[in-house]
Amino acid sequence: MDRMVFINLPTKDLAASDAFYSGLGFKKNDDFSNDMASAWMITETSWIMILTTGFYESFLRNGDTPAFGAGGREVLNAISGESRAEVDEFASLALAHGGTIYREASEEFPGMYSVAFLDPDGHEWEVGWMDMSAFGADGE
């Protein structure tokens, strides 16, 4: 069985988070969702778990607290896009569903086109596409 990845993020407003991730086109799994959490499938093996602040805090120890928005960023959540157009589409969808652009779409490195946006709670997401022909025939 392939390993699965679960990205757990705190939210101050579960309904706003649900609208955002639904708007990005991810699929909600109602079997693992309730009034404290929502499970969103990116792929069969990659999931986002959105947890209300209190529920998220129940997993923390040592006086740690959830992080939201501006300031230090511990994680940059990144997923691949299938094309430049899909990267741009994610940016449009993020804006239309309560997100904000964090870094405009650009090709900062040859062959690598990406955009970064924030969800309604300020968690950063990057969607990027790589033009493998820019790296040679063998991808290097």
- How distant, in Å, are the alpha carbons of 52, 114, 123 from that of 58? 10, 34, 19
Model confidence pTM above 0.85: yes
In DSSP terms, which residues pair with 101 in a beta bridge? 117
| Domains, the chain | 1-63 (3.10.180.10), 76-140 (3.10.180.10)
d(CA 67, CA 119): 13
pLDDT along the chain (140 residues), means of 10: 96 98 98 98 97 98 92 91 98 98 96 97 97 72
